[in-house]
Amino acid sequence: MPLSERDRSILDFEARWGAHSGAKEEAVREELSLSPARYYQLLGRIIESVDALSHDPLLVHRLRRMRAAAERSRADRAAM
């Protein structure tokens, strides 16, 4: 399924903000009219898409690596 305009907007927004976090949540609300929780839900779904990978491969690979690292960290803590 091709990326929607909203999906592209979310990816473009994430590419601009990168590792920033503090003011990012407010910007998500203002620019995208989404709650931060919904934004991250959608972003997680979007980065699984082949079309997202075509749109911005560096961003999608970086986000996938970050997600995998967070999952490993959670699994390590749960195993303790």
pTM: 0.85
Domain ranges of the chain: 5-79
Left, alpha or beta for 18 (phi > 0: left; psi -120 to 50: alpha)?
left
1-30 pLDDT, tens per residue? 799 999 999 999 999 886 666 688 889 999
Task: Count CA atoms closer than 13 A to 55's CA, side-chain side.
Answer: 22
Q: What is the pLDDT of residue 19?
A: 61
Nearest CA-CA partner of 9 in 50, 46, 53, 54: 46
Q: What is the pLDDT of residue 21?
A: 60
Q: What is the pLDDT of residue 80?
A: 80
Contact by Cβ (8 Å): 32, 9: yes
Residues ≥6 apart with Cβ < 8 Å to 52: 3, 7, 11, 46, 60
